Structure 1
């Protein structure tokens, strides 16, 4: 009997193995594989010696399957080539659902023109990390913050680019949680790189970020170029590009529609930013188009406690945006905003053309120093044209801490039919104007046409403008399942 029983069980096992083989064979037949050749090129800070596709690591671009582990596996594998000419990960056409993943050094993430990264709405795919040391707390909540969709820290030579591929943050889920005060941690950003050097983010479309879109922080030698950003104009804190405690940065040829500032320049918050002490300096912003009805085209602050210096903005267009250039600070911030240069600014339908105020009293906590006064100095605007403006400017310094060195030249502001009768508001400021319409306030006296050339840019270029991108061209093969 024992022999018969063993024989019977062996037959059952053989039948089971055969059945599994048939199922596997049918599955393989239903999903066929083909070899695909991809050709692409881009301008990059560096080209790469090694390439792979996300599909080589099990990526599935159906918009449903999570690819978080595929991204993590691919980047971990490719990191071995950092000292051998670097590597790049190609994301083919498809919809690639993913949670947060981290990049590596000497690396390029390249998105095909028909590739869409979809941010996961599974909150377990978003690890929580500590607040930024220069902020002392999260922006949305006192505790930590969710890691950004594309993240990296302590990296060198990193590129995130494509043929205008798309990153969709699917932010509505996060905005609802934020409005309902359901979040224990600060919402994730789309792209954040920390403590890194040599960063390029270019030729991408970013949609519906949960919060800020691009956030380089504590980093240097950064290029943000050819970026298109869209978010509903009522979405909370969907800032476009926020260089934060960064040195030698260039932002150019970007189109931004958002629910907050299109570019927000930052460097830490109150006592935490003062202690950390990393300024943002040597920043170029050019050929930017902004639409943001409730915020600024370019904001300096309000978190500026580490200092902001040498910002140069030129050839800027703002359409139906609350303000042109806005400086936001307060007692307790400390730090400085100085050596700011703006020229060739065109504005259409604005609430304020210019705004700088010292009463932005949003604090990290109650431990800020009430004697930490910010320094606002050497702020220059020239060659500005605007139409349909409600208020020319609101300049309100701090009592016993005036904003100094304001220079405005060759500016024509066409006021709206229902414009305020008093186009300029000026308190606790010092400066001059030349060739400005409508007539400025008494604290900004007109110095006559001979001063029209005042308020000009520095002549010497910043180091980031001297960096020449390389032409990178690739032909690669990868397996596509269908």
Structure 2
């Protein structure tokens, strides 16, 4: 018995030791394996493809891919020219390579895209087949200096207020239908029906794909969907004008996105750049995004479906990348029910995005987002918040002056914890830092250090705990208060710098706000260090110089 217990102790000790050394850090970043290919080349021209922008080349391109796969793999070559095509299905051991000046142009003929069972925000859904797709593959790539164009404008409805007058007239001249109030253009009657009747493609029990034919055109495909694939490389290509999301790797392992350009019009609803969902071992390096929704987004399924899948996005590096127009520069959520962890983001710039670092979720999601590290991020002209945590995404937060009622935390309660954010500069934003947790689940253990944020407003910390701000400069134009703290605790602020025009450092709100520590900060320049509202009192804060 003693020997058995000793053995068990040694095993547990070994496991604990292994886990400590397996933990990723800035000195031990996650890595992704890259695919390799035979040198054999399969030129789509030899399969009858014609680069005139008129001939439909779907069969020729897919035949070249099939042959390449059957013969052990290699390169399927797309030379310069405009190659019109319907949906393309990738195969294992195939590198789809687009030479410079090659445009892979997907047709605007919806009939070329059959309905298939896909995935929408973690749920089984009827979707049109993606222009490029791959399912359960290994060793695949899309490379080269060419362009993949999804012809997304043919699929997207659009509001009149999102276009110039000349753009709107051009849209009307292209065909389609207009809403009764004349403010929305629809590409087809099926799209109009689905939107006006609030229908969607989520596959209900007992329903088949045929049941969704009446709204088929509304079920816009993502441009590239790779499902459960291993060793994936996307390199150098421009992906643009997607019907819905641009790039959607789902449950992939060893995924590399390198030197990509990803573009969509600003008005492209759901026009995300890349949505990495439930993937493991990921590198995004040297990419540029200018899109209509989130730029670089991390997901892991929505609500019960995501929790049932139980696959976090994990072991990921994002570096040397730029995001222009987008709802968020680097984003996690809101569909993060399978969790996200061990993610490192560094040496990136966000210019003109709605938000910079954006972390969003809501009650009902569940999922734990943890061990997220961001450093050397440079932002300019951010529309809303530079650093943003919110657990009320697409749900109604409490009204100003009120507090939401806490509910019992359970498996459906989301968590944001263990974030380290450092070396951030933001020149222009509405607000520097915003954190809002739930009464039953605080945003917690967040460290923000060596940050300079030049913004309209400073920081709000609501329903949060274990927050550390170190060497943070908040140059807010609307100066008072510099920091609003609401029903939050265990907050340490060390070496805070603020605008000389500020007269109030803290507005401390709520009886549950406590254990706030201000250190190494010159508070002599303000008229009032802290005001106390709604049950907060002077014992909530300690000032130590």
Normalised TM-score (structure 1): 0.77
Q: Could you say which residue in structure 2 is the equivalent of 1:157?
A: 139
Structure 2 residue 160 is the aligned partner of structure 1 residue 113: no
- Specify the SS of the correspondent of 1:248: strand
Q: Contact conserved, 2:121 with 2:335, CA < 8 A, in 1?
A: no
Q: Could you say which residue in structure 1 is the equivalent of 2:112?
A: 125
* Number of equivalenced pairs: 387
Deviations 1:320-343 (A, max 9, x none): 111111111011001111111000
Structure 2 residue 232 is the aligned partner of structure 1 residue 199: yes
1:36-51 to 2 correspondences below 5 Å: 45-51=35-41
Per mean C-alpha deviation after superposition, the further-off stretch among 216-225 and 228-237 is: 228-237
- Residue ranges of structure 2 left out of the alignment (5+ in a row): 1-33, 158-185, 196-214, 396-408, 475-481, 497-545
Q: In the superposition, relative to structure 1, how do residues 378 and 440 fare at CA in structure 2: closer, same or farther (>3 Å)?
A: farther
Structure 2 residue 333 is the aligned partner of structure 1 residue 298: no
Task: Identify the structure with bigger relative contact order (alpha carbons < 8 Å, sequence gap 6+).
Answer: 1
Q: Distance in 2 between matches of 1:169 and 1:348?
A: 30
Q: Contact conserved, 1:134 with 1:272, CA < 8 A, in 2?
A: no
Q: Distance in 2 between matches of 1:384 and 1:255?
A: 19
Q: Distance in 1 between matches of 2:114 and 2:68?
A: 22
Structure 2 residue 444 is the aligned partner of structure 1 residue 404: yes
Q: Distance in 1 between matches of 2:273 and 2:120?
A: 22
Q: Could you say which residue in structure 2 is the equivalent of 1:355?
A: 388
- TM-superposed CA distance for 1:169, in Å, is 1.1
Q: Could you say which residue in structure 2 is the equivalent of 1:386?
A: 426
- Specify the SS of the correspondent of 2:259: strand
Deviations 1:225-252 (A, max 9, x none): 0101121112111111111000000001
Q: Contact conserved, 1:215 with 1:244, CA < 8 A, in 2?
A: yes
Q: Contact conserved, 1:68 with 1:125, CA < 8 A, in 2?
A: no
1:415-426 to 2 correspondences below 5 Å: 415=455, 419-420=456-457, 423-426=458-461
Deviations 1:193-216 (A, max 9, x none): 111100000101112111111111
Q: Contact conserved, 1:133 with 1:272, CA < 8 A, in 2?
A: no
Q: Contact conserved, 1:433 with 1:440, CA < 8 A, in 2?
A: no
Structure 2 residue 344 is the aligned partner of structure 1 residue 344: no
Structure 2 residue 274 is the aligned partner of structure 1 residue 241: yes
Q: Give the one of 73, 77, 86 matched to 1:90.
A: 77
Q: Contact conserved, 2:470 with 2:494, CA < 8 A, in 1?
A: yes
- TM-superposed CA distance for 1:47, in Å, is 3.1
Deviations 1:148-183 (A, max 9, x none): 111101111001001x10011111111124884464
Q: Give the one of 485, 494, 498 matched to 1:447.
A: 494
Structure 2 residue 317 is the aligned partner of structure 1 residue 317: no
Q: Contact conserved, 1:134 with 1:275, CA < 8 A, in 2?
A: no
Q: Distance in 1 between matches of 2:272 and 2:95?
A: 24
Q: Give the one of 359, 366, 373 matched to 1:334.
A: 366
Q: Distance in 2 between matches of 1:435 and 1:404?
A: 19
Normalised TM-score (structure 2): 0.68
Q: In the superposition, relative to structure 1, how do residues 160 and 88 fare at CA in structure 2: closer, same or farther (>3 Å)?
A: same
- Specify the SS of the correspondent of 1:389: coil
Structure 2 residue 167 is the aligned partner of structure 1 residue 167: no
- TM-superposed CA distance for 1:448, in Å, is 4.5
Q: Distance in 2 between matches of 1:113 and 1:53?
A: 15
Q: Contact conserved, 1:98 with 1:119, CA < 8 A, in 2?
A: yes
Q: Distance in 2 between matches of 1:323 and 1:134?
A: 21
- Specify the SS of the correspondent of 1:338: strand
- TM-superposed CA distance for 1:370, in Å, is 8.1
Q: Contact conserved, 1:49 with 1:87, CA < 8 A, in 2?
A: yes
Structure 2 residue 366 is the aligned partner of structure 1 residue 376: no
- Specify the SS of the correspondent of 1:243: strand
Q: Distance in 2 between matches of 1:371 and 1:303?
A: 15
Q: Contact conserved, 2:346 with 2:375, CA < 8 A, in 1?
A: yes
Structure 2 residue 55 is the aligned partner of structure 1 residue 55: no
1:189-228 to 2 correspondences below 5 Å: 189-228=222-261
- TM-superposed CA distance for 1:128, in Å, is 1.8
The root-mean-square deviation of aligned C-alpha atoms, in Å, is 2.1
Per mean C-alpha deviation after superposition, the further-off stretch among 424-433 and 299-308 is: 424-433
